[in-house]
Amino acid sequence: MKKIRSLWIVGLVAFSSSCVLAAEWRVGIARTEITPSKLLWMAGYAARKRPAEGTVHPLWAKALVIEDRRGERGVIVTADLIGLTREISDAVAARLRRRTGIQRERIVLNASHTHGGPVIVGAGTPVTYALNREQQAAAKTYAQTLEDKLVKLIEEACGRMTPATLDYGEGEATFASNRRTRGGPVDHVVPVLRISDENDRLLAVLFGYSCHNTTLGGDFYQYNGDYAGFAQIAFEAAHPGTAAMFMTGCGGDINPAPRGRLELAEQHGKSLATAVVRVLAKKLHPVKGPLTVAFQRVDLPFVDPPTKEELEKRRGKGNVYDQRLTELLLKRIAERGSLEKAYPCPVQVVRFGDDLSLIALSGEVVVDYGLRLRKLFEGQRVWIAGYCNEVFAYVPSERVLAEGGYEGGGAMKYFGWHGPFKPGVEDRVIGLVKKLMDRCQQAAP
């Protein structure tokens, strides 16, 4: 009898241990609608002449909070927006640190870069958009509302933690096309993270693609998430009760093809959702812990700025955007005494044990970064995202910077900067990525 009792106790301990081991992660998931309550000026195309005229489908922000066995948390937020500013991201992070204790380096804020959302007030807003005072005020009000919603969203996700498993796989979609050079480099990889409960029921799926959300052009005046919005809608319709979250990749110089009509945005979205479903049907790689994170900024130097005297001579010259930029730069000199010499670009790494590393880059990162980093960390599972935390400018590779053109420097005025970055920008970003990857690996217990 004593032997049977001992075996029963041993079995109970083993069963309890297996239950603990099964709960590798806990996750919390939440969503909030971020469609403006008013018809605001739309972001992404300087040629637009009037505010939005309606809504095709709602815009969403969705949060995924992931916690390892040690209680260490990471937050991933996806949003149907053109991009976030440093001011909004830092404010959200600061408020969350006070309210939840989650540190800045643990929060990834990714924007889909849809050109079908509202203007997000930033450094280049006065150059790109001809907003009157009423429209400027409405845009600022929306930005504050957005900040409040993002904070509340993450707090809600933190309050819904439940045991979960994570699995990773990759698929392919083929509608991305290099917009600078016919036949130029593209990245067709569709990374997919499956989030399931203890009974293997699908809770959420996080997926990405390296392509601009620009199926629709500047002549379209209704709020929408472009192909990424349609992809999320299609997946959630086929999987009721799940959250589909889209994370933009390194698609700064990549457009959907073909483009120009609403039905094409829906077509590309369904194509991407189908690619995700195909990945989920395959055998995926289990993702284990621990969770380690790293966040740091690297200065990306601009070319030497013009003097006040040089800017004075430019007044009234060039097109309307050149003239607005000249006035903006003169205003900065008057207020601050000088112009910026560099931009402090944030780089972030979220590492899931030895199974997956999320490399979160900021700005409009061109496709070369994704291709180079995947090659650099060949043999490891890496997910390279762009448009994270803040969209401050295009981030060209050395190739694109040398070639020039829109992504190489021509677009800088629309972000409110006086000129392109100096050579060396790519190695600065890649160098910091390598440093943070090493830091995360060394920090893992």
**163: three-class secondary structure by DSSP:** strand
384/353 Cα distance (integer angstroms): 16
For the chain, percent of residues with pLDDT exceeding 70: 95
Predicted local confidence at residue 160, as pLDDT:
97
pLDDT band at 95; cut points 50, 70, 90 = very high
Average pLDDT over residues 118-141: 92
Predicted local confidence at residue 20, as pLDDT:
41
Element (H, E) at 321: helix 320-336
Domain ranges for the chain, please list them: 23-298+342-443, 306-336
Predicted local confidence at residue 4, as pLDDT:
40
DSSP assignments along 26-62, one per residue = EEEEEEEE---SS-PPBSS-TT--S---EESS--EEE
Average pLDDT over residues 191-217: 98
Mean pLDDT of all residues belonging to the chain: 94
| Short-list 179, 244, 255, 178, CA closest to 213 | 255
| Contact yes or no for 389/104 (Cβ under 8 A) | no
Rg from Cα positions in the chain: 23
| Short-list 210, 215, 208, CA closest to 186 | 210
Predicted local confidence at residue 170, as pLDDT:
98
Does the pLDDT of residue 10 top 90, yes or no?
no
pLDDT band at 445; cut points 50, 70, 90 = confident
Predicted local confidence at residue 255, as pLDDT:
98
pLDDT band at 63; cut points 50, 70, 90 = very high
415/83 Cα distance (integer angstroms): 12
Distance of CA 166 to the CA centre of its chain: 20
244/387 Cα distance (integer angstroms): 18
pLDDT per residue over 154-194, tens digit each?
999 999 999 999 999 999 999 999 999 999 999 999 999 99
Point out which residues pair with 364 in neighbouring strands. 394
277/238 Cα distance (integer angstroms): 10
Predicted local confidence at residue 7, as pLDDT:
38
For the chain, percent of residues with pLDDT exceeding 90: 93
pLDDT band at 5; cut points 50, 70, 90 = very low
245/204 Cα distance (integer angstroms): 8
**Angle at 247 (CA atoms; ends 244, 253), nearest 5 degrees:** 140
pLDDT band at 18; cut points 50, 70, 90 = very low
> In this structure, which amino acid lies at residue 196?
S
Helices 262-280 and 226-238, packing angle to 10 deg:
50
| Sole residue written with tokens 């699995």 | 167
Average pLDDT over residues 270-287: 98
DSSP class of 424: T
User: Can you read off the two tokens belonging to residue 97?
Assistant: 């640190």
pLDDT per residue over 340-394, tens digit each?
999 999 999 999 999 999 999 999 999 999 999 999 999 999 999 999 999 999 9
Distance of CA 20 to the CA centre of its chain: 33
Predicted local confidence at residue 138, as pLDDT:
95
| Contact yes or no for 176/187 (Cβ under 8 A) | yes
Predicted local confidence at residue 2, as pLDDT:
42
Q: List the end-to-end C-alpha distance of the chain, in Å, as a whole number.
A: 43
The phi and psi torsions of 171 (rounded to 5 degrees) equal -130, -155
Does the pLDDT of residue 416 top 60, yes or no?
yes
100/155 Cα distance (integer angstroms): 7
Does the pLDDT of residue 123 top 80, yes or no?
no
